[in-house]
Amino acid sequence: MTQRSGSSVAEGDSPSSSLGPDLARSALAGDRRAVARLLTLVENGTEEGAAALTELYPHTGGAHVIGFTGSPGAGKSTLLNCVAQAFRHRGNTLAVVAVDPTSPFSGGSVLGDRLRMRDLVTDSGVFIRSMASRGHPGGLAHATRDVVSVLDAVGTGFIFVETVGAGQAQVDIARLAHTVVLVEAPGMGDEVQALKAGLLEIADIIVVNKGDRPEVQQTVQAIRTVIAGSGSVAGGWEIPILRTSATERTGIEALVEAILAHRQHMQATDLWSARQARQAYADIEGWLRRYFDEWVAQCMDTRDYDALAEAVVRRACDPATAAHSLLTRFTEGLCSKLKG
Amino acid sequence: MDIGNEQVIRVLIAKPGLDGHDRGAKVVARALRDAGMEVIYTGLRQTPAMVAEAALQEDIDVVGLSILSGAHLALVPRIMQELKEREIADIPVFLGGIVPKEDIAVLRDMGVAGVFGPGTETRAIIADIREAAVARRKASR
Ligand SMILES: Nc1nc2c(ncn2[C@@H]2O[C@H](COP(=O)(O)OP(=O)(O)OP(=O)(O)O)[C@@H](O)[C@H]2O)c(=O)[nH]1
Ligand SMILES: [Mg+2]
């Protein structure tokens, strides 16, 4: 059966290779180059990456994953540069995973988040990795979870995940992070209402950045009004609305305190384990969908498919019945393969 | 569109040194994106250590340096040294900028894979970078 295969990779995909587990061991021993290499393997959905993840998974679960999401250009990266530094001053190791969009035209991308994080680059306690969304909707890349798992396994204390500049519906981060920080900028009047069903629902901490600009207070007030209407907050956590300026470095300590307070709150209540469980369900679902997608692709890669399409054209069969018949044949084939 | 399973080429575009012009670097970054590559753009005033550390963490296939200040002979050996210290000196390094003819051979001796002077066609840049990335991958297997 197709064990965790991220379907075919063009080159270097011999399943018997021990590259994945070897890299996993080097990474666990502290080799940063091995970590970087592994991140590529899992990002590309290779067999080797999957084998490494199996090896690494028992070592995961220690990291606090913090999502930074919000409108394009709100200052997520610049703010992360400041926040991450403050965490470093407290002696924590950390990683930043920054996702930027892939061009739907060329499949390429320019990943610019690192540009804003120059204070973190040569700090050996920080690992920054840029990812392209590679066509995945929802604000993250398909493999962001796996990249986070690798960084978690090698002992990173805090993992910050910056989503693509996100709108209303890009809420995947809620299934990956323990703490979601929503970063917005002043000057969004009616757009606050639009965030109501979506990003505002998943935020644990709300930041109005660019506090050096006019209209900050209006934006804070607009957000306050909107979330006040949404009733009590789950688990007794009151969502703070903070003001920062990432360029003038004000409000940073309060944001760090809020993140740590949320952590304490999660640990004092059962919220931490609830989020771990939410992640587990989401992760299994993610893999299930991947396997099923592969199966669908395999079903379509058959002569039966062509024959049935032809039957549908002749109106000898309807599309739903055709699909059902393909599925039955495929699962029967799968079962006999599993027995044999 | 799902391109998650292909081997995407990852290129680091960096501007070491003190000059403040990054227009050329940005044009190249966009051209590489349009050719389907993933470009990590790190911007101005990168120290050699910053370039090498980014190349390591991002598991870069090819490094592209843009140096317009004329300091290439001073900067390149320091960058090569930083790459070597991180055991990633096998990453091909290309240089774009204004380089006197007589310096090109010197840069080659320092390990630079290619020099793109002003007016180099982006098509040629894309082709050279792709070829170098593929060659390195083949060599590392
Ligand atoms: N005035 C002001 N400008 C800021 C502040 N924070 C960020 N900026 C500027 O806003 C622009 C965008 O900042 P980024 O940090 O790249 O924003 P981002 O949210 O990461 O952007 P995307 O990743 O593209 O969605 C840059 O020009 C920053 O210098 C701030 O607090 N005040
Ligand atoms: Mg950003």
Burial A245-258 (b: 16+ CB within 10 A, else e): bbeeeebbeebbeb
* B141 within some domain: no
A42 Cα–ligand 2 center, Å? 22
For residue B55, being part of any structural domain is answered with yes
Cβ–Cβ < 8 Å for A101, A140: no
List phi, psi (to 5°) of A149: -60, -40
Q: A39-43, A137-141, A179-183, A264-268: which has the minimum mean pLDDT?
A: A137-141
Q: What is the token pair recorded at A187?
A: 């000057």
pLDDT score of A273 more than 70? yes
- Interface confidence, given as ipTM, is 0.92
**Which residue of A lies nearest to B34 if distances are taken between CA atoms?**
A106
Nearest ligand to the C-alpha of residue A164?
1
Band (pLDDT 50/70/90 cuts) for residue A234 is low
Structure tokens at B105: 């051979």
- pLDDT confidence bin for A333, thresholds 50/70/90: confident
> Does residue B15 form part of some domain?
yes
Query: Cβ(A76) to ligand 1 under 6 A?
Result: yes
Question: What would the mean pLDDT of A224-229 be, rounded to a whole number?
Answer: 80
Query: Which numbered atom of ligand 1 lies nearest the CA of A98?
Result: 23
H-helix segments, A154-189: none
Residue B91 falls within a domain, yes or no? yes
Output the pLDDT for position B2: 36
Q: Number of Cβ pairs closer than 8 Å across A and B?
A: 115
pLDDT value, residue A9: 35
pLDDT digits (tens, 9 = 90+) for B69-85: 888 999 999 999 999 99
Q: How distant is the Cα of B138 from the closest Cα of chain A, in angstroms?
A: 9
If you ran DSSP here, which 8-state letter would residue A43 be given? H
- Domain membership of residue B109 as a residue range: 2-118
pLDDT-wise least confident of A1-5, A207-211, A258-262, B79-83: A1-5
Chain A residues whose CB is inside 8 A of the B41 CB are: 110-112, 114-115
Domain spans, chain A: 1-59, 60-269, 281-339
**Least reliable range by pLDDT among A11-20, A23-32, A113-122, A245-254:** A11-20
Residue nearest to ligand 1 atom 13, measured at CA: A75
Q: Which pLDDT belongs to residue B20?
A: 77
Residue B135 lies in a domain: no
Say which CATH number the domain at B13 has.
3.40.50.280
Q: How many domains, in total, are found in chain B?
A: 1
Tell me: the pLDDT tens digits for A128-179? 999 999 988 889 998 999 999 999 999 999 999 999 987 767 888 999 999 9
Residue B51 forms part of a structural domain? yes
Pick the CATH number of A60-269 from 3.10.200.10, 1.20.1260.10, 3.40.50.300, 3.40.50.410: 3.40.50.300
pTM: 0.90
Distance from CA of A131 to the nearest CA of B (A): 9
Residue B96 counted as domain residue: yes
**CA-to-CA separations, A122 to A85, A118, A127, in angstroms, rounded:** 12, 8, 9
